[in-house]
Structure 1
Amino acid sequence: MMQKARSRLPPGAVPLLGSIVLMFFSVFTGVAIAPIAAEAAGRSSDAGLITGLFAATTVATQLWMPRMLSSRHSPRILHIAFVLLVLSNVPFVAWSESSALLFAGSAARGVGFGVTAVMASLLVVNLAEPSRRGEMMAYFGVAATIPGIAAPALGLYLQAAFGLAVPSVLSAVCAIGGLSIAVTLSLRTGEAQRAGGLLGALRGRSVLLPFLVSGAASAAFGGLISFVPLVLTGPGIESASLFFLGTGIWRALARWQSSRLADRRRPASLLTAGPLLAIPGAVALAAGSGAWFLVAAALLGIGIGIIQNISYLAMLDAVEPHSYGLIATLWNISLDGGVMVGALGLAMLEQAASLTAVLWSLALIFVAGAPLAAMAAGSAPAMSAETQP
């Protein structure tokens, strides 16, 4: 009976997670079709620029999130962000021939996502008792990962079959659904400001090291997204679509299991497993062929999944609750900023060297992250009685 009671989610968790799923589904659907729309309306180079604009506005918005979270109007800011996600689809439905309006829509999507992503990750951990924080992040990890697997594929299929309007309307409907749930929730974001702000929070090794590990893994993930489609061009097990499907499934499973385990152990002690598993996965991708690509997808998915959730839990474990808003902001910056920096940096490497150099550099990124993760485990605080199950 006690075990059954413990497994029950906190009040408000189910609608919050539902809103998060709809938010991510809306964003990933829109991001998938935006490059096609931009290329059709303008030049081929606009396809990359519109994705870059989305990433840049997302990170720029996240830099302002500590100030927004400290405002007594933060619930209203979340609602406005959902409205921006809805409106970001309007140019893709009504003015798809206008490059300027398509870019404006992508920027609006970036601002909306920057706000909703930070607030979602903060609201999830604020719902749970400290001893069940990992469990709530397990649910969050699945809620964030599954749309990333399904939404781009569905969006691209609908675009090919029916044109831009249908997936854009789907994206808008998902955002409206997320908003309709969000307005019913009792939102508790807490404080996000403290002396020194974001940079001040990074002065402690227990926060800085997981932040760097997360950023490195996200940079490698940005490289995977950008260059695996250029490498895996064959059918079946040598196709990029199967690779990303496998990576996504393993990433969701790793985020689920590692987060639940973090309720029984210090989160930072689990972080080293991420890069150690991802290193052979990256090597298998660079040097392998055939079935080795399935091995690469599994190891990279598990390694990145562990890093994504455990880095956040380790950073939260190192601060007091009044700083959770800063940590949620830093974590999201490490994810989205890391993907952006990795994609751009590895693109320059590919231009200067070769695609093979890019693939091997992915392994080197995880090699660099492994000692940082080990140092994070050594500098983490011991589990307190409050966080023990």
Structure 2
Amino acid sequence: MRRRTSSVSGPATGGSPLRSRSFLLLLVATFLSVGNYATLLSVVPLWAAEGGSDGTGVGATTGVMMGATVASQLCMGWLFRVLSLRNLFAIGAALMGIATPAYLMSNALGPVLAVSAVRGVGFGMVVVAGSALTADLIPARLIGKGVGLYGLSTGLPSVLCLPLGVWVAQEVGFAPVFWAMTAFTLAAVPTVLGVRGGGTPDDQPSETNTSGRLAPLAPGFVLMIGVSIGLGGLSTFLPLAIGHPLTASTALLAMSIGVNVGRLGVGAISDTIGPGRMVLPAVLSGAVGMAGIAVLAGSGPQAVAPVAAFAYGVGFGAVQNETLVVMLNRAGPKGRGLASTVWNMAYDGGAGVGAVLLGAVVALASHEAAFIVSAVLIAATAPVAWWDSRRT
């Protein structure tokens, strides 16, 4: 894709679409909903560990949620035909909010996995609808900045809530965290229902050219899988690998800040230099950061872990923005639902695979070995990043 106007369409508005009421409501609803996901990403594994789960079981808490997320995303072709995007978002947020207090019933692995699965279904609906709504509300000339702002609304909860949730759970208790996230997510329902626009996408998955529509999205899918594996491993095992709550929370905060820096930084320039140009250095930043975390989780000074976590976060955030914009452009205005679904499946599937795979490595070897495996897997996607950037 050469430097040109994106094929993604958006509504015409009198003022800047980036400041429209509907887009701002979408950003707020996204922040509230993703706050549930981000906060509990590390808290639920801690809850399961407190209940006696080993490394494999702890990893499964994230893996099952992400698996359910991907499973719900596989149903998006049907859901797009019967629900508007804003209603799909609202139902997903409601599922997440209603399920969250059920964690307090038991910290045994079975009940924790069951609740995580329900939350995963809701989360899958929220993120696919949110990405597609962004493409629907923002015109082509501003899609890079629009995706960057949407990325900020998904990334800020990690900055504010992920480290805070870990600290509160370990120092105060789990119940306040679960109840606060219930209120957060349920507040997103009336918020997103105020969005105007975002009808049913024009995707028709039953068409015979589905494989042809998926092929241009494959490189972005592979890249997102690779970097997301690291997210599943870090969010699940970093608080356990670094025993000191404050250090672990600081490292998670640094990672989250890095994600937002990466997404906003790339989003600000992709409309000018063309999307996809920064994906290779972003992948390398993610791999180097993860390798640094592996060293620090072993014999290195753990107090420096936030620096490595920040480097991983910058790379991860930049890859997110680059791949989503490229995939939306390649899918075209009638394929925004498909592109959003494929991108989110890679993100969530990678996080789930990372948690389960690295959980098995932790059980067989160590946290250090798990982070080394993650760094290698991220670095393995560098040839794809190089090849695909030459096509853009």
Shift of residue 365, structure 1, vs aligned partner: 2.0
Q: Residue by residue, what CA displacement relative to the aligned partner does 1:300-353 show, whole Å, maximum 9, x if unpaired?
A: 121111111111111112121111101100111111100111222233344455
Match status 1:53 vs 2:64: yes
Label 1:199 to 1:113 Cα distance change in 2 as closer, same or farther (>3 A).
farther
Q: Is the 8 A contact 1:90 1:105 kept in 2?
A: no
1:26 and 1:174 in contact (8 A); partners too: yes
Are residue 123 (structure 1) and residue 133 (structure 2) matched? yes
Change (3 A) 1:127 1:7: closer
Alignment partner of 1:262: what SS?
helix
TM-score (norm 2): 0.84
Q: Which amino acid aligns with 2:124?
A: G
Q: 1:245 to 1:133 in 2, by over 3 A?
A: same
Match for residue 134 of structure 1 among 131, 144, 161? 144
Task: Find the counterpart in structure 2 of residue 214 from structure 1.
Answer: 224
Bigger Cα displacement from structure 2, 244-253 vs 83-92: 83-92
Structure 2: unaligned runs, 5 residues or longer: 1-14
C-alpha distance in 2 between matches for 1:344 and 1:178: 30
Give per-residue Cα distances to partners, 1:133-160, cap 9 Å, x unaligned.
1111111111111112322333344445
**Larger displacement relative to structure 2 (43-52 or 105-114):** 43-52
Give the drift of 1:88: 0.5
Greater RCO structure (CA 8 Å; 6+ sep): 2
Residue number in structure 2 paired with 1:267: 275
Q: Distance in 1 between matches of 2:335 and 2:363?
A: 41
Is residue 341 of structure 2 the alignment partner of residue 329 of structure 1? yes
**What residue identity is the alignment partner of 1:308?**
Q
User: Aligned match of 1:79 in 90, 107, 112?
Assistant: 90
Counterpart of 2:32 (choices 1, 13, 22) is 22
Is the 2:289–2:311 contact (alpha carbons within 8 Å) kept by the matching residues of 1? yes
**Alignment: residue pair count:** 370
1:367 corresponds to which residue?
379
The 2-side partners of 1:23 and 1:39 are apart by: 25
Give the Cα–Cα distance (whole angstroms) in 2 for the partners of residues 197 and 147 of structure 1: 38
Structure 1 regions of 5+ residues with no counterpart?
381-389
Q: In structure 2, do the counterparts of structure 1 residues 168 and 149 end up closer, same or farther at CA, with 3 Å as the change threshold?
A: same
Match of 1:340 in 2: 352
Change in 2 beyond 3 A, CA 1:328/1:38: same
Superposed displacement of residue 92, structure 1: 3.6
Among candidates 305, 308, 312, match of residue 300 of structure 1: 312
Mapped to 2, the partners of 1:283 and 1:182 lie a distance apart of 39
Among candidates 106, 116, 135, match of residue 106 of structure 1: 116
Query: Which 10-residue stretch deviates more, 73-82 or 132-141?
Result: 73-82
Residues 173-223 of structure 1 show CA distances to partners (whole Å, capped at 9, x for unaligned) of 11221001112222415223243587553323xx21121111101112222
Coordinate RMSD, CA, aligned: 2.9
Q: Distance in 2 between matches of 1:316 and 1:234?
A: 41
Q: Offset at 1:104?
A: 3.8
With normalisation by structure 1, the TM-score equals: 0.84
1:91 aligns with 2:91: no
Give, in whole Å, the separation in 1 of the partners of 2:209 and 2:169: 43
Report the alpha carbon displacement of residue 14 of structure 1 after superposing the two structures with TM: 1.0
Q: Does residue 257 of the first structure (1) align with residue 268 of the second (2)?
A: no
Change (3 A) 1:208 1:82: same
Distance 1:54 1:72, change over 3 A: closer
| Residue 201 in structure 1 maps to residue 191 in structure 2 | no
CA shift in 2, pair 1:328/1:248, >3 Å: same
